[in-house]
Amino acid sequence: MQAEAGRLKKRSLTIAGHRTSVSLEEPFWDALGRLAQARGLSVQALVAEIDRARGGSNLSSAIRVHVLAAYVARAGEAL
Maximum distance among all alpha carbons in the chain?
Answer: 36
Rounded to two decimals, the pTM is: 0.87
pLDDT at 28: 97
DSSP string, 36-48: HHHTT--HHHHHH
The pLDDT-based confidence of 4 (bands split at 50, 70, 90) is: low
Residues 69 and 79: their CA atoms lie apart, in Å, by 6
pLDDT recorded at residue 5 = 67
Domains of the chain: 2-74 (1.10.3990.20)
Segment 14-73, tens digit of pLDDT: 998 999 999 999 999 999 999 999 999 999 999 999 999 998 889 999 999 999 999 999
Residue 49 φ then ψ, to 5°: -60, -45
Quickly count helices (H) and strands (E) in the chain. Answer: 4, 2
